[in-house]
């Protein structure tokens, strides 16, 4: 999607990644990992050690928490145990990033649609969003359960656009991981990096090729207005 095509399409919808963009979920994931480590006779991890890797999902958690890769014979069993532990605490400490409740209200009041495109499976995403007061029944929630391929494939972004009834050029996809930006660009949306999120250490986010970098959720409405939001 060219810059000219973006400029010609007034914004109609905001698509959001979940972990590290809309919600701070690191505490619950760390709790599940520490419980798993205890079961394996290992000490707790240092506070915040997993935070930069949350957006990498279970694979990133197991790599950092247990030095475990998918080709390890124990990977599937320990991944499943980790997810079961997380299911029991996935909404214990999680919260929307500061100001996001007002941001969502303002975006909707201004006529923008809101969708969520996440690599978090529906088993966790739907109850988490309900607990946070962001009903997946009111918003468009796209999880990997609905897709052939997760992000960075654009399938989820395109499905969200279809369900919201808008063209990709009328959307911005906001995320804190390179895969979010790649998915949005491949789908033809504008893209914005959530600089408050779980950015990988040492990563040059300017190299991701996003249309914008947003320092805090409160800056999103102004960005949307610059892109022709109602």
The number of CA neighbours under 13 Å toward the Cβ of 99 is 10
Q: Could you tell me the sign of the dihedral formed by the alpha carbons of 19, 24, 28, 31, in that order?
A: positive
Q: Write out the catalytic residue numbers.
A: 17, 19
Angle between helices 57-66 and 75-87 (to 10 degrees): 110
3-state SS assignment for residue 138: coil
The number of CA neighbours under 13 Å toward the Cβ of 180 is 35
In which residue are the tokens 């950092």 written?
Answer: 64
Please list the residues that pair with 174 across neighbouring strands: 16, 192
Largest pairwise CA distance in the chain: 58
Which residues are CB-neighbours of 91 under 8 A, at least 6 positions away?
Answer: 28, 127, 128, 131, 132
């Amino acid at each position: 999607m060219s810059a000219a095509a973006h400029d010609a399409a007034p914004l109609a919808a905001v698509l959001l990644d979940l972990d590290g963009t809309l919600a701070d979920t690191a505490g619950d994931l760390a709790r599940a990992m520490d419980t798993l480590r205890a079961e394996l006779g290992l000490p707790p991890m240092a506070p915040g050690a997993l935070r930069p890797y949350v957006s990498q999902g279970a694979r990133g958690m197991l790599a950092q928490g247990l030095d475990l890769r998918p080709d390890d014979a124990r990977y599937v069993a320990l991944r499943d145990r980790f997810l079961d532990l997380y299911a029991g605490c996935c909404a214990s400490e999680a919260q929307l990033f500061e100001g996001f409740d007002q941001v969502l209200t303002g975006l909707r009041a201004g006529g923008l649609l809101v969708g969520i495109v996440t690599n978090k499976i529906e088993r966790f995403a739907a109850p988490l969003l309900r607990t946070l007061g962001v009903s997946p029944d009111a918003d468009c929630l796209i999880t990997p359960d609905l897709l052939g391929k997760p992000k960075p494939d654009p399938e989820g972004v395109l499905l969200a656009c279809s369900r919201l009834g808008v063209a990709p050029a009328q959307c911005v996809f906001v995320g804190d991981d390179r895969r979010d930006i790649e998915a949005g660009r491949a789908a033809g949306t504008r893209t914005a990096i959530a600089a408050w999120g779980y950015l990988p250490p040492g990563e040059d986010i300017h190299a991701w090729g996003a249309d914008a970098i947003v320092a805090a959720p409160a800056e999103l409405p102004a960005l949307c207005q610059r892109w022709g939001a109602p």
